[in-house]
Amino acid sequence: AATHNYSFVVKEASYTRLCSTKDILTVNGLFPGPTLHLRQGDTAFVHVHNKGKENITIHWHGILQPRYPWSDGPEFITQCPIMPGNSFIQKVIITEEIGTLWWHAHSDWSRATVHGAIIIYPKRGDRYPFPKPDAEIPIILGEWWKRNITDVVEEFLHNGGDPAKSDAFMINGHPGDFNSCSVVPDTFKLNVTSGKTYLLRMVNAVMNNLMFFGIANHTLTVVGTDGSYTKQLKSGYIAIAPGQTMDVLLEANQKPDHYYMAAKVYTNVTVFPYDQNTTTGIIQYLGEYNATSSPIFPNLPAADDANSTYNFTGSLKSLASPEHPVHVPENVTTNLFFTLSINNVSCEPNNTCTGPAGSRLRASVNNQSLELPQLDILQAYYNQTRGIYDPDFPHFPPFVFNYTANNLPVELRLPNISTQVLVLEYNSTVEIVFQGTNLVTGIDHPMHLHGHSFYVVGSGPQIFDNVTDPQNYNTEDPPFMNTIAVRRNGWTAIRFRANNPGVWFMHCHFERHVSWGMGMTFIVKNGTGPGEQMLPPPPDMPPC
Ligand code: C2O
Ligand code: CU
């Protein structure tokens, strides 16, 4: 195991996309940001210097950070923001994670431009459970806004309706041939050699959309997701939730030519004015040949093709081999049932709300809509400061209703706006059933948990039936993930062992939904045995 040091200078840098130039917030002037290259068992110290104009925090998405929530990053959950001119040394502790994860800003919407890949290689001497690739390439799906992201957020919060969509999707920071505004190509190109195999390290860093991705004429082989190996899954396309990562093998086994890779939105609601643009990159075979005049375009599912999304996600399975076993908790000690809802509440004075009937939209888990506190929850917990949070987040929805019906009485739409946490005993075995609802609208929610990965043991298209549905749980080889899209008006069941003492955020990874309050916090208590307690804070925790 090695120790690495990285310097992250958060600063504005000038970038030109779609024929307009503006300053964006970056790390080290790079967009997308730098890739961290680590091995299982390594530790990295990232020296974050805020040389920008706004408060910032950085999160290591999918890294468990055992007993050390102090470096996890979510603003006002585990730390106060790093103010301009200040620095914070964050410790990134890799244990069993393997494959691709990523880091991103976790304050306001700055993750739009402040993000990058984390590649975790096997321990020295260990091998991949698949043929060794000839090269490894991060593929980061992102977005470009012509406007400043801070203005987009401000307008969105003031209007109380859906946010403005971005102006283009991008692959590795390039919008591609169909979004170009000039003759200068701004397209990501990957050169390949016939007969070689490439490991694509995919990250969905877009703000508000699930995405489809594919490469013309090439079958993709998924070998991992969310920092864990999967059984090999061959598919013509992948469906990837925001926050999710995937390891995908690409074999350069087609006629030497040039081919498009493409990514576009998947959505099954049309209320959000989603961007229908497709972003493209090019796979270019090296060598002498006559290229087709225009690259061949991949067949991606239609933008509203829910079945293609569910079939793909439902086909992901853990490797579950003797070298890479699964440890699905069998005896559940803590049963949680969480409804996920979009709500509307009355418009605040001086706002011009464009939500339904002049209202403002909120979002909630078990009818609790999160208001971030002024001081972070972790510090309040550690110092036993009162009045920052309430430890009474409900295990079940406060009232039962027909979750998938619409036109429900308005009382059901009004959430409790507060800062509630749910306290878990050390080593408790937790099952959460997420239930999608149709209060204002039904939509898939990509739910993400900090500090733990979880097994996705089941999902279904309707209201969860607690007698029959658990009979079909997969406890043999369920995928081990940190982000799972809960299908519209359906349910998903996850299990994990709460063996990481600390304070851990859980939220929808659609930025607009977490801004509306679709998030909650777990406090995992200390155990009594040796090595079962949260570690003390570092001396340089940013002050509020
Ligand atoms: Cu990728 Cu709490 O986030
Ligand atoms: Cu959501």
Mean per-residue pLDDT, 295-316: 95
Q: How far is CA 116 from the centre of its chain?
A: 12
Q: Which ligand approaches the C-alpha of residue 74 most closely?
A: 1
Distance 509 CA to ligand 2 centre (A): 7
Distance (Å, whole) CA 107 – CA 153 = 12
Q: 178: closest CA among 37, 59, 290, 295?
A: 295
Residue type, position 79, single letter: Q
Q: Calculate how far, in angstroms, residue 509's C-alpha sits from the geometric centre of ligand 1.
A: 6
The string over 380-402, giving b where at least 16 C-beta atoms fall within 10 Å of a residue's C-beta and e elsewhere, is bbbeeeeebbeeebbeebeeeee
What atom in ligand 1 is closest to the CA of residue 74? 2
Whole-angstrom Cα Rg for the chain: 22
Mean pLDDT within 433-455 = 95
Nearest ligand 1 atom, CA 505: 2
Q: Which pLDDT score is estimated for 272?
A: 56
CA distance 240 to 509: 12
Could you give the domains of the chain? 1-125 (2.60.40.420), 127-324 (2.60.40.420), 334-524 (2.60.40.420)
d(CA 350, CA 96): 50
Q: What is the DSSP letter of 348?
A: P
Q: Could you tell me the distance, in angstroms and rounded to a whole number, from the CA of residue 511 to the centre of ligand 2?
A: 8
Could you say which ligand is closest to the alpha carbon of residue 245? Answer: 1
Q: What is the mean pLDDT of the chain?
A: 95
Residue 530 has pLDDT above 90, yes or no: yes
Ligand that lies nearest to the alpha carbon of residue 515, given by its number in the listed order:
2
Residue 533: per-residue pLDDT:
98
Q: Report how far ligand 2's centroid is from the alpha carbon of 73 (Å).
A: 20
Ligand 1 nearest-atom number relative to CA 111: 1
Distance separating alpha carbons of residues 470 and 478, to the nearest angstrom: 14
Given a cut of 90, is residue 185 above it in pLDDT?
A: no
> Region 189-213: what's the mean pLDDT?
97
Q: For residue 106, give the ligand nearest its CA.
A: 1
* Ligand sitting nearest the alpha carbon of 362: 2
305/398 Cα distance (integer angstroms): 33
Structure tokens at 92: 């990134």
Q: How far is the CA of 139 from the centre of ligand 2 (A)?
A: 24
Q: Which atom of ligand 1 is nearest to the CA of 243?
A: 1
Distance of CA 366 from the midpoint of ligand 2 (Å): 13
Contacts made by residues 458-461, CB under 8 angstroms, sequence distance 24+ = 458/491, 458/492, 458/493, 459/310, 459/314, 459/486, 459/487, 459/490, 459/491, 459/492, 459/493, 460/490, 460/491, 461/310, 461/487, 461/489, 461/490
- Checking if the pLDDT of 425 tops 80, the result is yes
Q: Provide the pLDDT for residue 413.
A: 74
How far apart are the C-alpha atoms of 255 and 386, rounded to whole Å?
66
Give the E-state strand segments of 381-473 in sequence order: 416-418, 421-424, 428-436, 445-449, 454-460
397 CB-side CA count, 13 A = 21
Q: What is the predicted pLDDT for the residue at 260?
A: 97
360: CA distance to ligand 1 center in Å? Answer: 24
pLDDT at 495: 98
- Residue count of the chain, please give it: 544
Report which residue type is found at 382: Y
**pLDDT tens digit string along 8-66?**
999 999 999 999 999 999 999 999 999 999 999 999 999 999 999 999 999 999 999 99
Contact criterion met (CB below 8 Å) for 57 and 355: no
Whole-number Å distance, alpha carbon 474 to ligand 2 midpoint, is 25
CA atoms of 305 and 42, how far apart (whole Å): 41
pLDDT digit string, tens, across residues 398-412: 988 899 987 777 666
Tell me the pLDDT tens digit for each residue of 226-252.
Answer: 999 999 999 999 999 999 999 999 999
- For 248-291, write each residue's pLDDT tens digit: 999 999 999 999 999 999 987 765 556 668 999 999 999 999 99
Residues with CB under 6 A from ligand 1: 59, 61, 74, 104, 106, 243, 448, 450, 505, 507, 509
Lowest mean pLDDT among 104-113, 178-187, 421-430: 178-187
Ligand 1 nearest-atom number relative to CA 507? 2
Where residue 162 falls (left for φ over 0; alpha for ψ -120 to 50; beta otherwise) is: beta
Interface predicted TM-score of the whole assembly (ipTM), two decimals? 0.99
What is the reported pLDDT for 270? 63
Calculate how far, in angstroms, residue 111's C-alpha sits from the geometric centre of ligand 1: 9
> Looking at ligand 1, which atom is closest to the CA of residue 483?
1
Structure tokens belonging to residue 433? 């059933």
- Per residue in 499-524, pLDDT (tens digit) is 999 999 999 999 999 999 999 999 99
**Residue with the nearest Cα to atom 3 of ligand 1?**
61
**Which atom of ligand 1 is least distant from the CA of 514?**
2
